[in-house]
Amino acid sequence: MALMSRPLLLLSRSDLVKNLVSTMPVSAGIVRSYVPGETTDAVVEATARLVDEGIRVTLDFLGEDTLDAEQAEATVAAYLEVLEALSARGLTRMAEVSVKLSAIGQALPDDVAGGGHKIALENARTICRAARNAGTTVTLDMEDHTTTDSTLAILRELRKDFPETGAVLQAYLHRTEADCRALAYEGSRVRLCKGAYNEPEEVAFQSDLDVDRSYVRCLKVLLAGQGYPMIATHDPRLVEIASTLASRYGRDQGSYEFQMLFGIRPDEQRRLVKAGERVRVYIPYGQEWYGYLMRRLAERPQNLSFFLKSLISKK
Ligand SMILES: Cc1cc2nc3c(=O)[nH]c(=O)nc-3n(C[C@H](O)[C@H](O)[C@H](O)COP(=O)(O)OP(=O)(O)OC[C@H]3O[C@@H](n4cnc5c(N)ncnc54)[C@H](O)[C@@H]3O)c2cc1C
């Protein structure tokens, strides 16, 4: 679809390219510009630097589509470790975590310990409890459309005990305006993004224009509602429209927030903070950065030549 750069996504599936890129140390410029580190220490440092600038953070331990229960447990352990480290540094007022349910067991087959849905729910509960004890929150990332119902069902279950748990909705899906209506209730934290997966036309808008229009319709529902909208986009037009709509609906600054990815439009992140807006940066970290990096590079055609040059020079 138009949101993706197909050549780069196809290239990213080549084992040769994967081996070449994966042998680059994470400190290589192109990787570090999107992923500040592989370890808990590195990401806590990156968090502290942003917090010093008045920017909030949500941390994502990279790794998705786990088909291995032990790997899912290792991911849960990584979240518990980072939550403890954030708490020890006094950062949990400004930093939360984002979790992909497929990284904590959602994709496991039904014959494993009650099935992926149940395992992911229990693992997410463990992370939510640790986040609550550390004084912060969890947001459930949204993945491809085949997981949307399961993810929203897990969200509903989690919110019974942890109503602060954040949801993510993707404007490219036809269903999302209705999902926004269902989730625009008091206390409900909802991140609205365009959507990052390659979805078929039966379920998703295919043109940039249609996705943007859907994003604006969803924004109106969320900003007019009682919840806490988290406006996740780097798109300058949508940021401007969101600001205008926020004042039209009588929203005070701080009753919603802007979110951007680490390394993308950092000047805009600072400009918004200076303008009094609440801004949160999503920081991915860990060793499994390859797929994430490829999705980010694929989002911008200009990145292809930048990427190839850095592959050749290995910088
Ligand atoms: C905080 C946050 C959380 C997210 N969580 C999810 C999630 O849970 N599920 C999901 O499916 N998707 C998620 N996404 C990704 C999102 O769906 C989009 O794929 C991504 O944000 C690009 O869309 P955009 O709104 O920035 O608009 P685009 O139209 O892609 O970009 C608008 C402008 O932003 C700049 N820009 C965008 N991408 C790049 C880049 N890679 N490098 C440099 N500049 C760039 C360019 O100036 C571009 O013109 C998240 C995004 C953010 C910001």
Measured CA to CA, the distance from residue 35 to residue 250 in angstroms comes to 36
**Predicted confidence band of residue 315 (pLDDT cuts 50, 70, 90):** very low
Q: What are phi and psi of 58, to 5 degrees?
A: -130, 130
Which residue, by CA, sits nearest to atom 53 of ligand 1? 260
DSSP tally for the chain: helices H, then strands E: 13, 8
CA distances from 76 to 44, 67, 132, 292 (A): 17, 14, 15, 19
Is the predicted pLDDT of residue 165 greater than 90, yes or no? yes
> Above 50 in pLDDT, residue 182?
yes
Distance of CA 67 to the CA centre of its chain: 21
Residue nearest to atom 8 of ligand 1 (CA): 141
Q: Is pLDDT of 102 > 50?
A: yes
Q: pTM, whole model, 2 decimals? A: 0.93
* H-helix or E-strand spanning residue 171: none
> Is 196 a pocket residue for ligand 1 (Cβ < 6 Å)?
yes
The residue among 203, 206, 229 whose CA lies nearest residue 216 is 229
CB 138 within 8 A of CB 97: yes
For residue 84, what is the enclosing H or E element? helix 69-88
DSSP E strands in the chain: the ranges are: 56-61, 95-99, 138-140, 167-170, 189-193, 228-232, 257-261, 279-285
Atom of ligand 1 nearest to the CA of 282: 1
Q: Is the CB of 283 under 6 A from ligand 1?
A: no
Q: What pLDDT is recorded for position 312? A: 63
The active-site residue, picked from 191, 278, 295, 296, is 191
Q: Whose CA is nearest to atom 5 of ligand 1?
A: 141
| Band (1; pLDDT cuts 50, 70, 90) | very low
pLDDT higher than threshold 50 for residue 207: yes
Q: So what's the pLDDT on residue 93?
A: 98
300 in contact with ligand 1, CB cutoff 6 A = yes
What pLDDT was estimated at residue 205? 98
What ranges in 194-277 are assigned the alpha helix state H? 208-224, 236-248, 266-274
Percent of the chain with pLDDT over 70: 89
Protein residue closest via CA to atom 35 of ligand 1? 234
CA-to-CA distance for 137 and 170, rounded, in angstroms?
20
Residue 194: band (very low, low, confident or very high) from pLDDT cuts 50, 70, 90:
very high
**264 in contact with ligand 1, CB cutoff 6 A:** yes
Measured in Å, residue 88 CA sits from the centre of ligand 1 at 31
The residue nearest atom 27 of ligand 1, judged by CA position, is 235
- pLDDT band for 313, please (50, 70, 90 cuts): low
pLDDT of residue 15: 73
Q: Provide the pLDDT for residue 110.
A: 75
Ligand 1: centre distance to CA 44 (Å): 23
Active site residue 213: no
Report the distance separating Cα 234 and Cα 193, nearest Å.
10
Q: Is 156 a catalytic residue?
A: no
| 168 CA closest ligand 1 atom index | 8
Q: Which atom of ligand 1 is nearest to the CA of 100?
A: 8
Mean pLDDT is highest, among 62-71, 112-121, 254-263, for 254-263
* DSSP category for residue 104: G
Domains and CATH numbers, the chain: 35-288 (3.20.20.220)
Task: Evaluate whether 40 touches 81 at the Cβ level (below 8 Å).
Answer: yes
The ligand 1 atom nearest the CA atom of 212: 29
pLDDT of residue 172: 98
Q: What is the pLDDT of residues 36-80, one digit of tens each?
A: 999 999 999 999 999 999 999 999 999 878 888 899 999 999 999
Which tokens go with 116?
């992926």
